[in-house]
Chains A and B, each alone.
Chain A
Amino acid sequence: MKISKSKRIEEAVFKVLMWVAMGIVFAFVFSVIWTIFSRGVKAMSWDMITKLPGGGFYIGKEGGFLNAIVGSLYIVGASTLIGLLVSIPVVFYLNVYRKKGSRLAYVARLAFDVLFGMPSIVYGAFGFTIMVYFGLRASLLGGIIVITLLIIPIFIRSMDEASRNFPRDILDASYALGATRWETLRVVVRQIAPGIATATLLSIGRAIGDAASVMFTAGYTDSIPTSLSQPAATLPLAVFFQLSSPIPEVQDRAYAAALVLTIIVLILSIGGRFITNRFSKNKL
């Protein structure tokens, strides 16, 4: 009887601890979001997101950070596109062309997992040396290259996960009808389309928020770049640089930029979850 009582107590204690742990997680989420919103909304105005930095921007005069928004969109848009073009074939190759338990697929997955875990500052440092080697300066192109390298492993990993769950019988059915593997890809694409969509949203979220890698490769500028060789501002760096200013008005802009960045990332994250949920409902 005594033993059974102590085990009940232990059970109860750990259950409470688990509730506390989850409470802490929610508290952190709430605290971060609330901090960014309450501080950001105060600093937000229409000018912030529709105007370029004016003459006295960095001493607290007029202007906004449209340059950073557009710069981020350029970099993220281009690198997402290139990233998709590179990673979709790789995922197909690993899942359709290679048999289950293939040695190459194992090594490839390991390599992408390692790349996925690489800190973005290492990408930044490496990307920068490559750029110097080719005589490039901090530019839109440099930012696109590094962000592309950064998100390819994210793309591949999350799409790979989606395609691993899809029923292999469909492949066999397609082969049995006389289709080549290349033609079977059409069937596969349709099956894992939601997975690709989720992966894309995830990658965009990572790409738009990464500061360490674009710090030296994309640079920073007050104007919107008109060619690939010009430097480009990005949202996370707009937050970072403006926050290090001692002037309160400039810091306010950092909070406004942080709010914009957070809203974008939240939309992407919720969108990704939404697609995953719908997908799992329709699963065979």
Chain B
Amino acid sequence: MVKNRIVKDRLAQGVMFSLTIVAILFVVVMAIGLYLKSSPVLEGRSLFSLLTSSVWKPMKGEFGFLPFIVGTLWVTFLAILISFPISFLTAIYLTEYARPVVRKFVFPALDILAALPSVIYGVWGMLVIVPWISNHVAPHFMEFSSGYTVLAAGIVLGVMVIPLLVSLFIEVFTSVPAELREASLALGATRWQTTKKVVLRKTLAGVLAAVVLAISRAMGETIAVLMVCGCVIGIPTNILESCYPIPALIANNYGEMLSMPLYESALMFAALILFAVVLIFNLLSRIILYRIESREE
């Protein structure tokens, strides 16, 4: 009887252990799979030329990813520029100032922002942001703009990133012990001074890690960006031009790629770029965040 129970326990342990290992290995499998699939396009072309060439002629076998990379960087940068101050101030208010009642209203709002699917943001962007840019923003700077621009994609992405940033910031700020704040307040510092000189100083690394995570999230967003970015191949020179970020490139061309192995390989290479950047960014920032968390305990 006792033996039976112990066997059961061991068996369960074995199964759970293997499941965990398989799940961990999935990251590795994904990397290998994407690399193997993208190896044809890497043959005969240097990594450097793929990343820095701006000639995109799949029919002639020329794959320059620069326009897409620049497009991704523009959109991501803009998204962070918009979402950072909003999320930062909101998170500070929620952790340092707000009474529980306020949190009861703000958290559900953030929940909703976090829960809305990408495609819904895309619809919102097309109905609200794109016409706004086309009718009210662009006319100040140029003759005509359809509104499907870097700016539109940046705004939509920025809004999508807010809930993630706020929740990460809150996690980071609450890791600062209350005693430190009390000591500062007792010395006559105001709330803001305490935040600035105590909380922020203690959490600078965490704030950076949160931003890096948000960057990697923004880079990979597909459908919403695809719907508002304009999808014109070219290096945008200002935020009122169309762009074509990497995820949009993959999503838009997937269907037709099967007929051309090299094209498929190029798109897989695009996915590999995304994978690599997200992997590195996530590893770095998560390790920093774990440190902060364990310091708290």
Contacts and interface: CB of A to CB of B under 8 A. Distances in A.
Most buried by B among A18, A33, A128, A208: A18
Contact of B116 (A39, A156, A181, A209): A209
A282 interface: no
A104 B110 CA distance: 33
A25 B123 contact: no
A194 to B, nearest CB: 16
Contacts of B13: 93, 97, 181-182
16 contacts: A10-B193, A11-B190, A14-B192, A20-B89, A25-B162, A29-B112, A31-B128, A117-B281, A119-B220, A119-B222, A125-B268, A125-B271, A130-B33, A180-B9, A182-B5, A270-B111
B95 to A, nearest CB: 11
Q: How large is the interface on B (under 10, 10 to 19, 20 to 34, 35 or more residues)?
A: 35 or more
Interface stretch (A48-56, A105-113, A225-233): A105-113
A32 interface: yes
Contacts of A255: 123
A86 B90 contact: no
A140 to B, nearest CB: 18
A254 B123 contact: yes
Given A18-B97, A22-B93, A129-B33, A262 B116 contact: yes
Contacts of B274: 119, 121-122
Contacts of B190: 7-8, 10-11
A216 B9 contact: no
If over half of B's interface residues share one DSSP class (helix, strand or loop), that class is named, otherwise mixed; here it is helix
Nearest to A184: B9
A180 B8 contact: yes
A258 interface: yes
Contacts of A162: none
B260 interface: no
Contact of A117 (B86, B114, B193, B217): B217
A142 interface: no
A236 B119 contact: yes
